[in-house]
Chains A and B, each alone.
Chain A
């Protein structure tokens, strides 16, 4: 411990991680007058780093990567505001034999919110009580009514597109007017209508009206590159930069949290971290700490915080830290839609999904799998990039003017459907500390275990049948030779790898029973009263709704509870 440089100040709140959870906690606490020290494992984000509006020819490698890595199976994320990926130099993780899992991490202020898809969906009332409905998994200790006011707050502050539809699986919120439907969106909507399925305007964390000093979207379709006008949500430029203006937020960038240490009463006293710029060990004292490092990093930090009082890791007397890891079930299909070929050309960029298909079979008959999924829709004339036409030329082959014509005919005439479904938590999917591997700073790394069950595989079979029905209803030719084109059958259907949808949640779960959960109904550790978790780790289930909106709402609620508890002197 003598090597660690200890700063004497005791901070009101130390927040670890600056993504959707950490950004929300920082903003809410700063607004309530508390002082926040925010530790981020990556560098500060500079808006000038964002690559919005850059053309491929302005990059020497045109996006394929300076070592052409895009041609050899590794995405260079040239334009995306990702600042990370599944492979981080010096920061390995391991996967147990027989498991397949991919862990995507971002190291930058704002984390993965800088680049994410901005799909913003409330959980439904029934999503909080899944076990009561079908006997699988566990119920949340809170209900929709507990979180609804925080969904409201999040939507008012962040701005979300959408329309009131009165669909139980997709509760209405406080929406901004959505953008017009594109031609392929209209086809999808009509095709769905023929099948008795509703497709509704997309719910995206994008503003179409001036909101809280931010100008509205300019419809360049490049949300994933981060938005220079802050017209979509990222915790960096929507929450943290404005919160810094209060003067109550201090950011320590390049701070990789290593361990939480406790005092004689068992409360967290210090956060030890590695300063990544020089590898030195530092520590900050805290009155309270909020973990928002991402579900698996938060679990890792707790598991690595062992002491005689906490031999299984901090807050882990239940042994459930790291358990019940969930991702979203992903499967997709696409088709060439001749009706779109040769269409009068227009700018189809817009923003993300202008339409989506909420789960429509939430009541009634047995489908052969529990729970549900929603479908996201892709299409339009994307900005050409490396690989944009590889599929077309591989199918058509040849060369010369005939090949160019094939590209012209299919450009903008494809429609893609992506299913996003609920996974049931299982005993085989979890993360733990690998006893034999450490990262570049000597911090023990995570080992992942992963298994899909028949629940998920059967759901994917249903997705594929649905995709085919929708695409064929608009005259689409579902692509052969591609995962998703095979009719559902006894063989393993085309399901995403664990972690690949980047919705990993559930490793530090909430519950009323300290024997089976880590956190109480306010995301406060049962055993450690000044320890809170505000990322995806507290999730008890992982409904088909993309997790970010619920991470934000839950973090907002946790921050308000924390501020009040501090005011009353309870923590």
Chain B
């Protein structure tokens, strides 16, 4: 299966870095931690060159602002730790919507529904409503138990937005740090901390 998008983003430099890593492994029989990190450094540099500002490709400027606010509510800043906004969740969703008509329809319909529901509640639209008004609406559409014919489209859409915001956040560098995944590393020897095993055993009653 060809993987052009991967090649496009990281290009030759990433491939070279991977090759250096492979060579380091073959040469020493152990993993050179620095060579492994080099892969990630190169990728970060490649991204930095492309610049920081995102221009939506599928959504209108208004839809995009609405989506940014929605993702910010789904995964907000938590005790100073960055959330979905900093992780670029809206940009990722828009990029995919640009490559999938089905997704584009889901988001354009869903974001329009949010605006229409806000107007029905007396606000101009979703993004300009107060935080209290926004969360009042999300408190309804975030739960299947609130399903009514009127709310159904909103609940369906919020389920998509929540799922994809979570995907975007936890596949970003910020999100992987937030969840404290410790892997994708090379170990000379595989060990498991005794304290972890003891913790689990004690709590399991086994």
Contact pattern, B 179-200, Cβ under 8 Å of A = 1, otherwise 0: 1111111111011110111011
Q: How far is the CA of A184 from the CA of B193 in the complex (A)?
A: 12
Instruction: Choose among B21, B166, B204 the residue that contacts A337 (Cβ–Cβ < 8 A).
Output: B204
Q: How far is the CA of A68 from the CA of B100 in the complex (A)?
A: 6
By a CB distance below 8 angstroms, the chain A residues around B36 are: 53
By a CB distance below 8 angstroms, the chain B residues around A210 are: 29
Within 8 A of B (CB), among A179-229: 179-184, 186-187, 190-191, 194, 210, 215-222, 228-229
By a CB distance below 8 angstroms, the chain A residues around B108 are: none
Q: How far is the CB of B107 from chain A (nearest CB, A)?
A: 11
- The verdict on B124 contacting chain A, using a C-beta distance below 8 Å, is no
Interface locus among A248-256, A347-355, A364-372: A347-355
Interface range on chain A (Cβ under 8 Å from partner): 35 or more
Interface locus among A303-311, A315-323, A396-404, A531-539: A396-404
Contact pattern, B 139-168, Cβ under 8 Å of A = 1, otherwise 0: 000111000000000000011001110111
Q: Is the beta-carbon distance between A183 and B190 smaller than 8 angstroms? A: no
Complex: chain A residue closest to B83, CB-CB: A404
- The verdict on B136 contacting chain A, using a C-beta distance below 8 Å, is no
Q: Is the beta-carbon distance between B176 and A55 smaller than 8 angstroms? A: yes
Q: How far is the CA of A218 from the CA of B73 in the complex (A)?
A: 40
Q: Is the beta-carbon distance between A67 and B100 smaller than 8 angstroms? A: yes
Q: How far is the CA of A60 from the CA of B99 in the complex (A)?
A: 12
Q: Is the beta-carbon distance between B190 and A219 smaller than 8 angstroms? A: yes
Main secondary structure of the interface of A (DSSP, over half): loop
Q: Is the beta-carbon distance between B192 and A182 smaller than 8 angstroms? A: yes
- The verdict on A567 contacting chain B, using a C-beta distance below 8 Å, is no
- The verdict on A64 contacting chain B, using a C-beta distance below 8 Å, is yes
Q: Is the beta-carbon distance between B29 and A216 smaller than 8 angstroms? A: yes
Q: A229-B25, A407-B179 in contact; A393/B166 too (CB < 8 A)?
A: yes
By a CB distance below 8 angstroms, the chain A residues around B29 are: 210, 215-216
- The verdict on A483 contacting chain B, using a C-beta distance below 8 Å, is no
Q: Is the beta-carbon distance between A344 and B182 smaller than 8 angstroms? A: no
Q: How far is the CA of A475 from the CA of B206 in the complex (A)?
A: 9
- The verdict on A63 contacting chain B, using a C-beta distance below 8 Å, is yes
By a CB distance below 8 angstroms, the chain B residues around A48 are: 15, 18-19, 22
By a CB distance below 8 angstroms, the chain B residues around A184 are: 200
Interface locus among B4-12, B60-68, B112-120: B4-12
Complex: chain B residue closest to A56, CB-CB: B171
Q: How far is the CB of B30 from chain A (nearest CB, A)?
A: 7
- The verdict on A387 contacting chain B, using a C-beta distance below 8 Å, is yes
- The verdict on B14 contacting chain A, using a C-beta distance below 8 Å, is yes
Within 8 A of B (CB), among A16-69: 47-64, 66-69
Contact pattern, A 289-325, Cβ under 8 Å of B = 1, otherwise 0: 0000000000000000000000000000000000000
By a CB distance below 8 angstroms, the chain A residues around B99 are: 61, 66-68
Q: Is the beta-carbon distance between A384 and B204 smaller than 8 angstroms? A: no
Q: Is the beta-carbon distance between B204 and A349 smaller than 8 angstroms? A: no
Q: Is the beta-carbon distance between B200 and A347 smaller than 8 angstroms? A: no
Q: Is the beta-carbon distance between B192 and A181 smaller than 8 angstroms? A: yes
By a CB distance below 8 angstroms, the chain B residues around A56 are: 171, 176
- The verdict on A82 contacting chain B, using a C-beta distance below 8 Å, is yes
- The verdict on A246 contacting chain B, using a C-beta distance below 8 Å, is no
Q: A53-B36, A215-B26, A411-B179 in contact; A62/B171 too (CB < 8 A)?
A: yes
Q: Is the beta-carbon distance between A58 and B6 smaller than 8 angstroms? A: yes
Complex: chain B residue closest to A341, CB-CB: B203
Within 8 A of A (CB), among B19-66: 19, 21-22, 25-26, 28-31, 36, 39-40, 43
Q: Is the beta-carbon distance between A229 and B26 smaller than 8 angstroms? A: yes
In this complex, the member of B25, B75, B181 whose beta carbon has the largest number of chain A beta carbons within 10 angstroms is B181
By a CB distance below 8 angstroms, the chain B residues around A181 are: 192
In this complex, the member of B19, B73, B191, B206 whose beta carbon has the largest number of chain A beta carbons within 10 angstroms is B206
- The verdict on A340 contacting chain B, using a C-beta distance below 8 Å, is yes
By a CB distance below 8 angstroms, the chain B residues around A487 are: none
Q: How far is the CA of A350 from the CA of B191 in the complex (A)?
A: 9
Q: Is the beta-carbon distance between B96 and A64 smaller than 8 angstroms? A: yes
Q: A53-B21, A399-B162 in contact; A348/B183 too (CB < 8 A)?
A: yes
Q: How far is the CA of A187 from the CA of B198 in the complex (A)?
A: 10
Q: How far is the CA of A343 from the CA of B143 in the complex (A)?
A: 29
By a CB distance below 8 angstroms, the chain A residues around B15 are: 48
Q: How far is the CA of A384 from the CA of B75 in the complex (A)?
A: 16
Q: How far is the CA of A525 from the CA of B88 in the complex (A)?
A: 60
By a CB distance below 8 angstroms, the chain A residues around B21 are: 53, 228
Q: Is the beta-carbon distance between B138 and A346 smaller than 8 angstroms? A: no
Instruction: Choose among B5, B102, B191, B193 the residue that contacts A61 (Cβ–Cβ < 8 A).
Output: B5
Within 8 A of B (CB), among A390-424: 390, 393-394, 397-401, 403-404, 407-408, 411
Instruction: Choose among B142, B175, B183 the residue that contacts A347 (Cβ–Cβ < 8 A).
Output: B183
Q: How far is the CB of A42 from chain B (nearest CB, A)?
A: 10
Q: How far is the CB of A357 from chain B (nearest CB, A)?
A: 16
Q: A71-B103, A187-B204, A218-B187 in contact; A384/B193 too (CB < 8 A)?
A: no
Q: Is the beta-carbon distance between A187 and B78 smaller than 8 angstroms? A: no
Q: Is the beta-carbon distance between B192 and A404 smaller than 8 angstroms? A: no
**5 interchain residue pairs of minimum CB distance:** A339-B204, A56-B171, A339-B203, A190-B206, A349-B183
15 additional contacts, CB 8 Å, given A58-B40, A66-B5, A229-B31? A51-B3, A55-B40, A59-B5, A61-B95, A71-B103, A78-B6, A83-B1, A215-B25, A229-B22, A384-B171, A384-B176, A399-B73, A400-B74, A404-B78, A407-B166
